[in-house]
Amino acid sequence: MLKRLFNTPAVRATACWLISLYMRFAKLTSRWQVRNPDIPRAFWQRNEPFILALWHGRLMMMMYSWQPGKPIDFLISFHRDGDMVSRTIGHFGLGSIRGSSKRGGAPALKAMVKGLRQGTCVGIAPDGPTGPRMRASEGIVSVARLSGVPILPATCAASRRIILSSWDRFMVPLPFSRGIFLWGDPIYVPRDADNDTIQKTVMQVEEALNQLTEEADRAIGEEPICPASLTDVQ
């Protein structure tokens, strides 16, 4: 009965609103710093779009590293959890494009490329929607190649947090924390990239995100979350 109740639109909408309130409370009661802010700022000042790359497990607070007023659409799956994410980020004025490699991939790819060419940034978790954790898939590189815009890796970490036992080890920051947002250098994909170049760029994105995430965790005194083992990827 509780499951049926939670699936009702009104209850789910209320849950997303409460989550957004918690996120605001966690942000307001904590001290957050941004490292390498000049990297995204240079693109925002020139009104040049880019692809924000972040791990699925670090989604919760990343909108607070974003410059207000700059449009961005996040790629969100059609899964029920994806619907919750889409509703929640909507409370912060962020858009979403629905789709994944398993469902709605082609229309989502077309929508992302079109949006980027029109000046709207796109946010992608390259290990989503179901993992393996912190292992990049090819989709984000394909979007970059087709649109001609760079990928900017970014992450966040909090000193007081709950790490869920989900596949992505999702991080829930607690109030009264020390937090950090960390941006990495842009990664460019040639429009004429062959398969070998694409695969190398996928690894470049994965390594950049993992290095940033480890650096962020260590900066606030927490043990880094490890990526899924390579046997889980095969």
Q: What pLDDT tens digit does each residue of the chain (234 aa) get?
A: 555 656 777 888 999 999 999 999 999 999 999 999 999 999 999 999 999 999 999 999 999 999 999 999 999 988 777 888 999 999 999 999 998 766 768 899 999 999 999 999 999 999 988 899 999 999 999 999 999 999 999 999 999 999 999 999 999 999 999 999 999 999 999 999 999 999 999 999 999 999 999 999 999 999 999 999 876 554
Domain ranges in the chain are 2-233
Burial 149-167 (b: 16+ CB within 10 A, else e): bbbbbbbbbbbbbeeeeeb
Instruction: Identify which of 100, 99, 97, 166 has the alpha carbon closest to the alpha carbon of residue 133.
Output: 166
Q: What is the separation of C-alpha 224 from the centre of its chain, rounded to a whole number of angstroms? A: 18
Superfamily, domain 2-233 = Glycerol-3-phosphate (1)-acyltransferase (3.40.1130.10)
